[in-house]
Chain A
Amino acid sequence: MQFPLSISDISLWIAVMAIILLVTSELVSPYSEHFGDFVINKARLRLVALILGASFMVTILLREIG
């Protein structure tokens, strides 16, 4: 029994999530017709996106060092 994802898999997943979150945090607006019903803290969403982006950079560095 071991975790099936390698560091490169996780790195890729983090990168994709960071992009999705950054785009979402930019698009979500209370005045938008499509995203108007979406009640979420935009600042926190952006913070998580930036943390994920930094985590991606860390995984890249880990891979380079390893």
Chain B
Amino acid sequence: MISRESRENSKKKGKIREETEPTKVHSLVETLQLLQSENEVLRQELLRYRRLPSSKIGFTLLIIGVPVLVASIAATSTILAFIGLSLTFWGVLFLFAKPTKFVRSTLLDSTALSSYTTIDRIVDDLNYKGKPTYIPPYPKEAYLPEYLKGLKEMIVFISAEDIATTPTIEEMAKKQFLVKNPEGICVAPPGSGLASLFEKESRVDFTKIDLDGLYNSLPTVIMNNLELASNFEIDAENELIHVKIHDSVYRDLYFIEPKLKSLHSVGCPLTSAVACALAKTTGKLVTIAKSQVSPDLKTIEVWYRIVEG
């Protein structure tokens, strides 16, 4: 009897141990993430103190350079002339090449946060289970009657059921938020503005190019023109389109507590903009099949699915 009881007790203890170990790991992971976020905040603080505005450097160089240049003429000294010319030139250069609008990347996260929180609250409140689907807009030049003008806007449809469906043309044209057939909501994608900026910067209309053209223009505009990431790779992987982003300016969004569910389903502004671009180019529905972020937040990987609509 005693031995049976002790066996049962040991079984219970084993169960508790099984339950506590994942909890421990989970709490450790949470602590690690918290420490990493604190580290990031401290790094930003340090950078703020380290940074010297280029205008201050420019004025300092000019103040030293101009008198030296004048002195070189008075003394007819070649060395002084070279020093003065260089200092004056660099002073003018720093004033000319200073960034006109410099925005910290943390500001981007703060401004984007509220829209994701709103989407999360709506989806949780309505208990919607469907995957957000990017619906391509009609091309800008396409003629549409007045009552169908709403179809020229990019939207994301979140269905109530876990099936990839789209609302009727009439409902989309009315720019409705709550859609009845099929039940769901239509919201503006967080990256639609960014996708328009991509088109403006690359001077390409995404509706007029093919996927290969998009694969060529997107990395250039994201890495070189807008400097939103240090590296951006996009390629076809079986039925999916795989995107790998290094050092995204929106990477800290993935770190915010409590976790934003819509960030993975709808995508961060950058991944959402890529989804918009894909939808525009293919003219088909696009969903985010999977997204993952490396523990150090350096790499964001997203797999997009083109849905035949």
On whether A9 and B73 interact (CB within 8 A), knowing A39-B99, A45-B97, the answer reads no
Measured in the bound complex, the distance between the Cα atoms of B82 and A17 in whole Å is 12
Measured in the bound complex, the distance between the Cα atoms of B275 and A25 in whole Å is 31
Contacts of A13 in B (CB 8 A): 82, 85-86
Question: What is the interface size of chain B, counting residues whose CB is below 8 A from a CB of the partner?
Answer: 28
Contacts of A36 in B (CB 8 A): 47
Interface string of B226-255 (1 = CB under 8 A from A): 010010000000000000000100000000
CB-based nearest B residue for A25 = B97
Measured in the bound complex, the distance between the Cα atoms of B227 and A40 in whole Å is 13
Contacts of B107 in A (CB 8 A): none
Contacts of B54 in A (CB 8 A): 39-40
Contacts of A61 in B (CB 8 A): none
Contacts of B80 in A (CB 8 A): 4
Interface string of B79-96 (1 = CB under 8 A from A): 011100110010001101
Contact A1 B73 (CB under 8 A): yes
Can you name 15 A-B pairs with beta carbons within 8 Å?
Answer: A1-B76, A2-B73, A3-B73, A4-B73, A4-B76, A4-B78, A5-B78, A5-B81, A13-B82, A29-B227, A39-B53, A40-B54, A40-B98, A40-B99, A41-B99
Interface string of B150-170 (1 = CB under 8 A from A): 000000000000000000000
On whether A48 and B97 interact (CB within 8 A), knowing A30-B227, A37-B50, the answer reads yes
Shortest C-beta distance, A6 to chain B (Å), equals 9
Measured in the bound complex, the distance between the Cα atoms of B98 and A41 in whole Å is 6
Give 3 closest A-B pairs by Cβ, nearest first. A31-B230, A44-B97, A4-B81
CB-based nearest B residue for A1 = B73
CB-based nearest A residue for B47 = A37
Contacts of A39 in B (CB 8 A): 51, 53-54, 98-99, 102
Shortest C-beta distance, A51 to chain B (Å), equals 11
Measured in the bound complex, the distance between the Cα atoms of B74 and A3 in whole Å is 9
Interface of A with B (CB < 8 Å)?
A: 1-5, 9, 13, 17, 21, 29-31, 36-37, 39-41, 44-45, 48
Measured in the bound complex, the distance between the Cα atoms of B188 and A40 in whole Å is 34
Measured in the bound complex, the distance between the Cα atoms of B89 and A29 in whole Å is 22
On whether A1 and B74 interact (CB within 8 A), knowing A31-B230, A37-B50, the answer reads yes
CB-based nearest A residue for B69 = A3
Contacts of A4 in B (CB 8 A): 72-73, 76-78, 80-81
Measured in the bound complex, the distance between the Cα atoms of B53 and A2 in whole Å is 36
Contacts of B82 in A (CB 8 A): 5, 9, 13
Measured in the bound complex, the distance between the Cα atoms of B102 and A3 in whole Å is 39
Contacts of A40 in B (CB 8 A): 54, 94, 97-99
B111 interface contact, C-beta 8 A: no
Of residues 211 through 234 on chain B, the ones whose CB sits less than 8 Å from some CB of chain A are 227, 230
B100 interface contact, C-beta 8 A: yes
CB-based nearest A residue for B231 = A31
Contact B96 A29 (CB under 8 A): no
Contacts of A31 in B (CB 8 A): 230, 247
Measured in the bound complex, the distance between the Cα atoms of B33 and A18 in whole Å is 46
Contact A41 B97 (CB under 8 A): yes
Shortest C-beta distance, B30 to chain A (Å), equals 28
Measured in the bound complex, the distance between the Cα atoms of B82 and A2 in whole Å is 14
Contacts of A37 in B (CB 8 A): 47, 50-51
Of residues 82 through 140 on chain B, the ones whose CB sits less than 8 Å from some CB of chain A are 82, 85-86, 89, 93-94, 96-100, 102
Shortest C-beta distance, A59 to chain B (Å), equals 14
